[in-house]
Amino acid sequence: MAVLIRRLEETDHVALFDCGDEPLNNYLRRHAWTNLQKISIGVTYVAIDESAPRSVLGYFTLATASVPRDTFPRKYVRGLPAYDMPLILLARLAVDQRFGGKGLGHALISEAFKIALRVADDVGCRYLIADAYQERIDWYSRYGFVALEGGDLNRPRRMFLDIRTIRMALKRTA
């Protein structure tokens, strides 16, 4: 299966997408296109099989955001200005259950990293941030994400990754 990752298109088949999490399914089915095309608050990228170019296998959504500087552990903001940190929000990332365990999540987050680097170069930002479900914290940690202090243990855990870490990792693999 040859996978292509590209921006969501209005004609993509999202109705059968099922990652096992109804809020993530619902976002793709009901809000992703509107947020992308009509109100410009997030851009959704989809993974498709090139032989079935409209069926969505997985997706992620990126948006911009900022977080107060004091939210980060001190060692990560030492020497930075005392105002909110501009960042890229990895708002959602999901893989259809039929394609889990086949490296699609890795392909999606790798593409998100490449886009984050381009955005950081064009507009300036320091971090990529994600809200990880408790059962996915270890998965994000393998990519270098670090949990922010505090937070409600009954809600997704906010985690961040320094853009410089992504840049160094991609240079090593190039």
Residues acting as catalytic residues = 140
Six token digits for residue 1 = 């299966």
Q: Strand, helix or coil at 156?
A: coil
**CA-based nearest residue to 127, from 172, 164, 91, 78:** 164
Q: Do residues 97 and 124 lie in contact, with contact meaning Cβ atoms separated by under 8 Å?
A: no
CA dist list (Å): 163 to 72, 112, 114, 171: 14, 11, 10, 12
Place of tokens 């708002």: 91
Q: Strand, helix or coil at 108?
A: helix
Q: Do residues 10 and 33 lie in contact, with contact meaning Cβ atoms separated by under 8 Å?
A: yes
CA dist list (Å): 62 to 54, 87, 89: 21, 10, 6
Phi, psi of 148 (to 5 degrees): -75, 160
